[in-house]
C-alpha cells in the first residue's frame, strides 16, 4: 500500500511570548494515511492552526520530526518547501486567502501558472471549477468585490483545481451558510473518493466533522481523542 501522507513524530512547538513560553503543540504523534479525510477539532487555542502550519511546512517545529510525501520537511530549506507546497499541497486558509490585485479567475489560475500549466488549459480549468463552486459570472471580480463566503469558495477552488495530493484547510466553512458549506464539503469528499486526495481540515463546524472519515480532537496542544467514523 501507499506510504502515509503525513507522519508527525513527537512534534513540539513552543512560542516565546516575552517571558512566557506557550506550548502550542506538545509531543504530537500522528500518522495520516494517503486518501485520508481527517478533521481536526478542539477549542480555540488548542493548536489546530499550528499543526496545519507544521504539516504544510509554513513554520518549523521546535522539536520532533515531520514527514510529508516521504520527505523530512522539518529539515528542508525555504525554497525546497516552496517547491513542495507548489506541487504537492493545496491550502485553504482561515482568512485572507486571495491575492487582492488578481480577480477570482486569476487567483484560481495563480498556482497553475506557477506550475507552468499552459494558458488555455488553465483558463478552462479555472472557469469549470468556479462554476462548480457556484461562482459562475463572478470570474472577473476582484476579492474586494466578493463576499466573505464567495472569497472562501474561490480559495477552495484554487486549492482543488490542480488536484494536489494533500489539501490543508483551516476552517474552510467559517464564513459560509450551511447550504454552501454542505456543497463545498460534498466537492471535497468527491475529490477524496475519486482521486484519493488526502484532506486535513480544522474546524469547529459539526457539519464538517460529519463528513470526516477520522476525527482528531486537540486540547492544549495534545491529541486527546482520535476516532474513526462511518
Partner 1 sequence: MKTPTFMLITIAWRNLWRNHRRSLIMLTAIAIGLWGMIWMTALMRGMVDQMIDSAINTLSGHVQIHAEGFLDDPSIERTLPPVRDNPALQSLLDSARVTHWSERIRVPAVIRSERDVLGVTLVGIDPQQESGLSFIADSVTEGEYLAGVDDRHVLVGRKLLERLETKSGRRIVLMSQDPDNNIAERGFRIGGVFDTDLQVTETSYVFAGIETVRAMLKMGDGVSEISLLGPDYRNLDALAADVRAAAGKADTKTWLELDPYMATMLGVMDGVILIWFSIIFVALSFGLVNTLLMAVFERTREIGLLQALGMPPANILIMVLVESLIMLLIGLLAGNLLSWLTILPIQDGIDISGVAAGLEWAGMSSTLLPAVKSSDVLLANAIVLVLGIAASLFPAWRASRKVPVEAITRIWQ
Tell me which residues touch ligand ATP (CB under 6 A). Answer: 15, 17, 22, 24, 42, 44-50
Residue 116 binds what, of ligand ATP, Mg ion, partner 1, none (CB under 5 to 8 Å, by partner type)?
partner 1
Task: Provide the minimum distance between the beta carbon of 161 and ligand ATP in the complex, in angstroms, as a whole number.
Answer: 25
Residue 20 binds what, of partner 1, Mg ion, ligand ATP, none (CB under 5 to 8 Å, by partner type)?
none
- Taking CB under 8 A as the criterion, the residue among 36, 42, 47, 56 binding partner 1 is 56
Would you count residue 100 as binding partner 1 (CB under 8 A)?
yes
Would you count residue 65 as binding partner 1 (CB under 8 A)?
no
Task: Provide the minimum distance between the beta carbon of 137 and ligand ATP in the complex, in angstroms, as a whole number.
Answer: 33
Q: Are 200 and 166 in contact (CB under 8 A)?
A: yes
Contacts with Mg ion by CB under 5 A lie at: 49
Task: Provide the minimum distance between the beta carbon of 8 and ligand ATP in the complex, in angstroms, as a whole number.
Answer: 14
Residue 214: CB atoms within 10 Å: 17
Calpha distance 67→64 (Å, rounded) = 10
C-alpha grid cell, residue 34? 494517503
Task: Provide the minimum distance between the beta carbon of 71 and partner 1 in the complex, in angstroms, as a whole number.
Answer: 15
Size of the site for partner 1 (CB under 8 A): 34
Task: Provide the minimum distance between the beta carbon of 51 and partner 1 in the complex, in angstroms, as a whole number.
Answer: 11
- Taking CB under 8 A as the criterion, the residue among 114, 138, 207, 209 binding partner 1 is 114
Q: Which parts of this chain interact with partner 1 (CB under 8 A)?
A: 49, 52-53, 56, 58-60, 78-79, 82-87, 89, 91, 93-102, 106, 110-111, 113-114, 116, 170
Amino acid at each position: 500500500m501507499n506510504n502515509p501522507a503525513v507522519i508527525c513524530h513527537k512534534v513540539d512547538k513552543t512560542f516565546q511570548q516575552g517571558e512566557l513560553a506557550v506550548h502550542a503543540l506538545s509531543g504530537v504523534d500522528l500518522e495520516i494515511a494517503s486518501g485520508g479525510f481527517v478533521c481536526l477539532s478542539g477549542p480555540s487555542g488548542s493548536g489546530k492552526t499550528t499543526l496545519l502550519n507544521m504539516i504544510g511546512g509554513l513554520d518549523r517545529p521546535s522539536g520532533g520530526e515531520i514527514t510529508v510525501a516521504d520527505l523530512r520537511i522539518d529539515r528542508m530549506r525555504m525554497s525546497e518547501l516552496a517547491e513542495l507546497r507548489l506541487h504537492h499541497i493545496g491550502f485553504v486558509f482561515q482568512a485572507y486567502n486571495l491575492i487582492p490585485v488578481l480577480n477570482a479567475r486569476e487567483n484560481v489560475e495563480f498556482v497553475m501558472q506557477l506550475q507552468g500549466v499552459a494558458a488555455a488549459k488553465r483558463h478552462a480549468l479555472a472557469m469549470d471549477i468556479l462554476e462548480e463552486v457556484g461562482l459562475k459570472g463572478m470570474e472577473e471580480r476582484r476579492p474586494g468585490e466578493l463576499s466573505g463566503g464567495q472569497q472562501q469558495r474561490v480559495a477552495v477552488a484554487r486549492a482543488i483545481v490542480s488536484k494536489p495530493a494533500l489539501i490543508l484547510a483551516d476552517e474552510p466553512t467559517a464564513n459560509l451558510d450551511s447550504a454552501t458549506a454542505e456543497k463545498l464539503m460534498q466537492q471535497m469528499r468527491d475529490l477524496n473518493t475519486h482521486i484519493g486526495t488526502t484532506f486535513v481540515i480544522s474546524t469547529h463546524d459539526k457539519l464538517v466533522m460529519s463528513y470526516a472519515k477520522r476525527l482528531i480532537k486537540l486540547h492544549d496542544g495534545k491529541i486527546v481523542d482520535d476516532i474513526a467514523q462511518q
